[in-house]
Every structure is written in C-alpha cells, then in structure tokens.
Amino acid sequence: MFDLRDLYQQVIVDHNKHPRNFGKLSRYNHEADGYNPLCGDRLHVYLDIDASGRIADVSFEGEGCAISMASASLMTEAMKGRSVEEMREVFDAFQRMVTDDLDALPDEERLGKLTVLAGVREFPSRIKCATLCWHTLKAAADDTAEVVKTE
C-alpha cells in the first residue's frame, strides 16, 4: 500500500515550510507568471541569466500547496549556476519523471535531489502542482509574455 510519506517526504515538508530562494531578486532580466486555475496556485519566477547563458540566480514568489511550493523551492536550488540548455534538459527529465509509469526509474543523474518528487505520479490530480514552477521557469527563460497556465 502506498504510504503518504512517499509523496510528502520530509524534504518536501521542509521545503514547503521553509522555501529556498523565495522572494524577488534584486537583479533579474527575465520573469514569468504561472497560474493553476484548478487550485488557484500562483507563482512568479525571477531569473537572472548572464551573458554566457548561465542561470546566475533564480527565485520565486507565490502561494500554493506543499507540492507546488516544495517543487519550486527545489527547482531554484537545482537550477542556480546551470546553463539554460541544461535547464531545458532537466525540465524534460522532470516532466518524464512525474508522468512516467509507476515502476519507471527516474533519471537520477539529471534530476538529483528532484527525484523526491517522483511520488506525485501516483496522484494524477497533483502532477500539475509539481510542474507549474517548471513551466513558469521555462516561460521566463523564453520571455513568454503570457501567464503560464497548467490547464
């Protein structure tokens, strides 16, 4: 039987309570809004990409459930210092992880600590909570003017 603790791992509970990189960056050159109309989660991602295409800094603001808060917090930690190209690869790997078959193993090499969110694939109605921040990050990097919606 699936244990709720598999979804709400201590790392997730901790990142929800104490989100990292929360708030507006003092210097940023990209930003985007994300909104999940189903549950009302709102996110704003700030991104500072340097001349070499590296994510010099990234932060987020917003409110939402533990899955969306923790996912955004973990994402900012994981993406700081990575190139935009790498970010796109991790984005794809993350999408795969949360929508894969239940017995598929996540791409640990690419995802690292982000694999704590693999449990959401057990909860179809919650996958969007985990992916909202990633879509918003990608929209920020692409300078998409429209609000990212998960619906």
Partner 1 sequence: MSIDVQRIRAEFPVLRQQVHGRDLVYLDNAATTQKPRAVIDALRRYYEHDNANVHRGVHALSERATAAYEGARASLRALLNARSVREIVFVRGATEGINLVASSWGGTHVGAGDEVLITGMEHHSNIVPWQMLCERVGATLKVLPIDQRGALCLDQLDALLSERTKLVGVVHLSNALGTINPVSEIIRRAHAVGAKVLIDGAQAVAHMPIDVQALDCDFYVTSAHKMYGPTGIGVLYAKEALLEAMPPYQGGGDMIRMVTFERTEYNELPYKFEAGTPNIAGAIGFAAAVAWLSAQGVERLAAHEQQLLDYATERAAACDGLRLIGTASRRATVLSFVLDGVHPHDLGTILDREGIAIRAGHHCAMPVMQHFGVPATARASFAAYNTREEVDALFAALAKARALFA
Residue 73's CB: how many other CB atoms inside 10 A? 24
Other C-beta atoms closer than 10 Å to the C-beta of 143 total 11
Q: Where does the chain have alpha helices with state H?
A: 4-7, 10-17, 66-79, 84-99, 108-111, 127-141
Nearer to partner 1, 43 or 79 (CB): 43
Site string for partner 1, 123-142 (x = CB under 8 A): x-xx--x-------------
Site string for partner 1, 49-88 (x = CB under 8 A): --------------xxxxx---------------------
Please give the structure tokens belonging to residue 56: 């010099």
**Of the two residues 65 and 93, which places its CB atom closer to partner 1 in the complex?**
65
How many chain residues are in contact with partner 1, going by CB under 8 A?
23
55-63, strands of its sheet edge to edge = 55-63, 41-49, 30-36, 148-149
d(CA 151, CA 141): 20
Q: How far is the CB of 6 from partner 1 (least distance, A)?
A: 10
Q: Of all residues in the chain, what percent are helix, strand and coil, respectively (each to 5)?
A: 50, 20, 30
Nearest distance from residue 55's CB to partner 1, in Å?
Answer: 28
Indicate which single residue of 18, 24, 38, 92 sits in contact with partner 1 (rule: CB under 8 A).
38
Of 120 and 141, the one with the shorter C-beta distance to partner 1 is: 120
Per CB under 8 A, residues contacting partner 1 are 1-2, 4-5, 7-8, 13, 16-17, 38-42, 63-67, 123, 125-126, 129
